[in-house]
């Protein structure tokens, strides 16, 4: 098969649930192992699904809906859009249009917002406006559904140093939390960047700072008003 045939095949609408699963992996620009970790399944089981040895089950579809905001109707039968708004849990999970206010024809990569994500308590959806975009960057492996913001403070050093930039993506507060991953956590009167760890009490979470001079924080999970997964950490010199 020549290259033109391959390109034409990849541009066809995904016809089956398996095709749509493969589409999602390409969409998020992840390896199979990274995608499996993102939805909290065993990479070997995902490999078996992709090879056709295991079916695309309702359980797998529910994980895609809860963790990635995928439309259940689209995943099951191809109707609806891949990220149908009716599947999103209200204001807790913003759409791509909410965090990318410019039309696709005017976008030039992932937007960089001139805001400090750890400063203030304003709802983030209100500051992700075109007026606050300082530029765009196009780097390999950065999810196009992310936005890039600045971080201040030393609590997550050295992983997230003061003044660096992070690429973040909104996720469902009520969905699966990837324990040990770094998130932007939005509380009623504070925003912070922390590693989220499992608490013995399932109604609680532990917010862990990598800097040993900062103590862990234990909060009720219900106090979290919005949650953003930190997908990439970008040294500030990259954007200078």
pLDDT bin (cut points 50, 70, 90) of residue 7 is: very low
In the predicted structure, residue 36 carries a pLDDT above the cut 70: yes
For 134, the enclosing helix (H) or strand (E) is: strand 133-137
Whole-number Å distance between alpha carbons of 10 and 132: 35
Query: In 3D, which of 128, 27, 130 has the Cα closest to residue 81?
Result: 27
CATH topology of domain 92-239: Umud Fragment, subunit A (2.10.109)
Whole-number Å distance between alpha carbons of 101 and 93: 16
Whole-number Å distance between alpha carbons of 228 and 147: 10
Span 179-183, mean pLDDT? 93
CATH topology of domain 3-87: 434 Repressor (Amino-terminal Domain) (1.10.260)
pLDDT of residue 139: 76
* Total-model pTM: 0.56
What is the residue extent of each domain of the chain?
3-87, 92-239
Span 88-107, mean pLDDT? 43
pLDDT bin (cut points 50, 70, 90) of residue 84 is: low
Whole-number Å distance between alpha carbons of 130 and 124: 13
pLDDT tens digits, one per residue of 217-238: 999 999 998 899 999 888 754 4
When comparing pLDDT for 105 and 36, which is higher? 36
Whether 150 contacts 117, CB under 8 Å: yes
Span 107-128, mean pLDDT? 76
pLDDT bin (cut points 50, 70, 90) of residue 193 is: very high
Do domains 3-87 and 92-239 share one topology? The answer is: no
pLDDT of residue 83: 72
């Amino acid at each position: 098969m020549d290259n033109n045939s391959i390109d034409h095949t990849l541009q066809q609408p995904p016809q089956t649930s398996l095709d749509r699963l493969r589409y999602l992996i390409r969409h998020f620009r992840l390896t199979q192992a990274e995608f499996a970790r993102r939805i909290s399944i065993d990479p070997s089981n995902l490999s078996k699904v992709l090879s056709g040895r295991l079916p695309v089950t309702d359980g797998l579809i529910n994980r895609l809906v809860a963790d990635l905001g995928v439309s259940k109707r689209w995943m099951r039968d191809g109707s609806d859009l891949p990220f149908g708004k009716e599947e999103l849990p209200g204001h807790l999970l913003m759409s791509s249009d909410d965090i990318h206010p410019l039309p696709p024809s005017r976008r030039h990569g992932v937007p960089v917002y001139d805001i400090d994500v750890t400063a203030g308590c304003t709802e983030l959806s209100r500051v992700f406006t075109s007026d606050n975009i300082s530029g765009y960057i196009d780097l390999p492996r950065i999810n196009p559904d992310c936005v890039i913001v600045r971080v201040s403070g030393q609590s997550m050093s050295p992983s997230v140093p003061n003044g660096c930039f992070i690429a973040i993506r909104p996720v469902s507060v009520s969905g699966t939390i990837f324990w040990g991953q770094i998130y932007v956590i939005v509380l009623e009167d504070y925003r912070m960047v922390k590693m989220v760890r499992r608490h013995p009490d399932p109604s609680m979470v532990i917010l862990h700072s990598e800097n040993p001079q900062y103590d862990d924080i234990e909060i009720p999970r219900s106090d979290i008003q919005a949650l953003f997964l930190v997908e990439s950490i970008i040294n500030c010199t990259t954007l200078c």
